[in-house]
A and B are shown apart, each in its own frame.
Chain A
């Protein structure tokens, strides 16, 4: 084998050379060209990146159904769905700017890495001009960052963390779904009406980005009412049994339990809490209550009986009676035989909003599309009057406070709407400390190369 001598002189020389190398001016130049994946033929490709395997596969499957429906409607098929109720009328069922809409799908596996790999292959191989989807905030933030670098538009699917349009906001990324802060702001007045303003809350929080921002938001909103936060316990994401976390609640003197959990976590923790008889208990002379800030119908179905009477918030529910919701539920129901989830709704709406923005901008260039979406006000998409705020690319709209139904009529009829909190009440300044404060910025929009 060869010998390798290191001398002091040699080491210094090498270090100096390496240092000089690092400080060297740009040897190779890179320059910007036209936009990434500009559709030149008769069709335009969208990338639907949803979890098809892993813990959120149910949501992912529903999102994919919504996307297929949206593509059908954009290409003039079906009954047009929300195209008929959408306040902007530039979409006419001939695709996007006369180009037929085609799509590719990928599996995020609810992992940032896999999601980025899948999105990259859509951009590099299939020529997707826009990426959308996802059912977790971690994935949304990761893919949003990728789309920013690659120079395509990202229309977020289901992501509820404040960070997506907070400290991790990006010029090329847009979110229609609501967030943790909005949940807190919408829930607080309802909780006050139902349970009074003198309560002691105990938080169980999923130990990751979404859990923290959600807990922070709810604690702040309820403390503003006069509630006291007794304790906040972080639970590992992989937990399936929460008994050991529920037992201390009984002796803590708290009279409200807030479960900052989502998906399977929430189903398990709620079931444990109910099994421990928390809901029959009396503490401080009041009934013990449980609150689940983020609800979805798919979770309600998992929790079964235990969900009855539990209060939470949601982005949209199929039982809403406005024209947009009815049109969407009708065409979704006719195609698939059951009502859509809130994940399906937000994905469907995001696709239409993108198509509309391209048409209004008259260009596929991400910067033009972003400009068309910024400050855009629309209606008829199921949430009432909605604003896409320019400063952080977050939609501001009414938030639904829902409750587990006591007497469900069908397996889909699990939630009833308690109150529709108006958008003004859940609006916050773009430099709110929970959203990255003054330092958070969208950065420059990127048209790609």
Chain B
């Protein structure tokens, strides 16, 4: 169906179910329980899960298939956001032109950067993209935000003001980003079942729908002859050159597609929250995308989405646990014990969320080089093989080995 084989179709359906039921899945704890701290099913975070998922899927098309490690992908995210906010300022708060323009502009931008950067490969390519991204950041942060020519509004971030033209805006339309009057920030349903609360947000479902479409596109791309060419680039570019094929158009195409995915994510970010800040383009943001992809499993279809969710969860949930919350958790213990436990846990939560994330990242990279996806596969194998006699494994010596990944 849809040009997919059975396995891919199953994957797409599973992803669809997960995203559509996310408000339930991410809110497993009743609101009044102590565990409610770990609930992630509120609109802003769900939107971020999906948007950064899109970003990571796009990044994976470049990194996972061709092996080119771009260290400047955040630049496209930023360009997309600025493009979207400018559409809000000039046309109207409708998200359709904003998202379209952000994808187009990020595409054009990636043609430019890709054309130059792809003249080199390996570490030189990474450095070039990093340099371009930092340049974009500096431009957005101060150069293009001087009072005479204010394109980005610098540190404050580009936002919509009451005196902006908004030529398509009319009375009756909401003064926040909307899809034909359907405000992104509104919830169409707030469900209260017993102690549980579930929020169904307009913006989230728009993002989720777009995620499913681009996820489907990425599956098709992975399975297409074009995708095969990209894998060939990754496995041995020299060999490809000798056969008389020019890999450059393929890598450039992959770079542009990946840039457009990032632009789409940027446009969606701005559509959910109409502000574009320069720090979206900083090298730390680019690094975060690389982390997401590697953490989830580079080169796999679902991995990057998992990685994105994992990192965003830590950033938003763990950073909010403060000593006050810790004391509540451990309040059932004797006083000395309680203080001791708070003292132990304190460095790992709140402002220490980076530390926890770093430790987990190290563990994953060390023990599960294939990322979270490999963890899932191992678990799956374990469950399946239980109670059954282990089958004869394929002769490892006579099985074509995968080429080692460039990042390893």
Contacts and interface: CB of A to CB of B under 8 A. Distances in A.
A141 interface: yes
> Which has the most chain B C-beta neighbours within 10 Å: A29, A52, A121?
A121
Contacts of B182: 27-28, 30
A325 B229 CA distance: 71
B39 interface: yes
A208 B185 contact: no
Interface string B32-61: 000000010011110010000000000000
A289 to B, nearest CB: 28
Contacts of A21: 96, 180
B102 interface: no
Contact of B180 (A26, A103, A210): A26
Contacts of B141: 207-208, 237
B306 to A, nearest CB: 20
B176 interface: yes
Given A107-B351, A208-B142, A449-B186, A121 B154 contact: no
A322 interface: no
A273 to B, nearest CB: 22
B142 A443 contact: no
A52 B48 CA distance: 21
Contact of A28 (B168, B181, B220, B353): B181
Contacts of A120: 43-44, 273
Interface string A151-169: 0000000000001000110
A26 B181 contact: yes
Nearest to A446: B175
Contact of A117 (B48, B145, B185): B48
Given A28-B180, A111-B279, A116-B273, A138 B157 contact: yes
Contacts of A150: 185
Interface in A378-416: none
Interface residues of B, number: 56
B275 A116 contact: yes
Contacts of B353: 107
Interface string A1-25: 1100000000000000010011111
10 closest pairs, A vs B, by CB?
A26-B181, A52-B351, A138-B155, A112-B277, A120-B44, A28-B182, A125-B42, A208-B155, A207-B142, A124-B42
Contacts of A30: 174, 178, 181-183, 186
A360 B96 CA distance: 45
Contact of A209 (B155, B162, B186): B155
A106 interface: yes
A106 B181 contact: no
Contacts of B186: 30, 449
Interface string B218-234: 00100011000000000
Interface in B133-186: 138, 141-142, 145, 147, 153-157, 159, 161-163, 168, 172-174, 176, 178, 180-183, 185-186
Main secondary structure of the interface of B (DSSP, over half): mixed
Interface stretch (B105-113, B240-248, B317-325, B381-389): B317-325
Contacts of A138: 154-157, 277
Interface in B348-398: 350-351, 353-354
A268 B333 CA distance: 48
11 contacts: A22-B96, A26-B181, A30-B178, A106-B319, A107-B351, A125-B39, A149-B176, A149-B185, A208-B142, A209-B153, A209-B155
B32 to A, nearest CB: 10
B142 A237 contact: yes
Given A27-B182, A145-B159, A121 B275 contact: no
Given A208-B154, A209-B156, A1 B42 contact: no
Contacts of B70: none
Nearest to A29: B181
A142 B142 contact: no
A118 B350 CA distance: 12
Contacts of B174: 30
A105 interface: yes
Contacts of A24: 180-181
B316 interface: yes
Contact of B156 (A27, A28, A149, A163): A163
B30 interface: no
B277 to A, nearest CB: 4
B162 A443 contact: yes
A210 B145 CA distance: 12
A224 interface: no
Nearest to B351: A52
Contacts of B275: 112-113, 116, 142, 145-146
A120 B176 CA distance: 15
Contacts of A163: 156
A146 B354 CA distance: 25
Nearest to B159: A145
A241 B11 CA distance: 53
A207 to B, nearest CB: 4
Interface in A296-322: none
A53 interface: yes
A112 B319 contact: no
Contacts of A449: 186
A38 interface: no
B258 interface: no
A272 interface: no
A209 B320 contact: no
Nearest to A207: B142
B71 to A, nearest CB: 18
Nearest to A112: B277
Given A22-B94, A112-B277, A142-B275, A117 B44 contact: yes
A236 B138 contact: yes
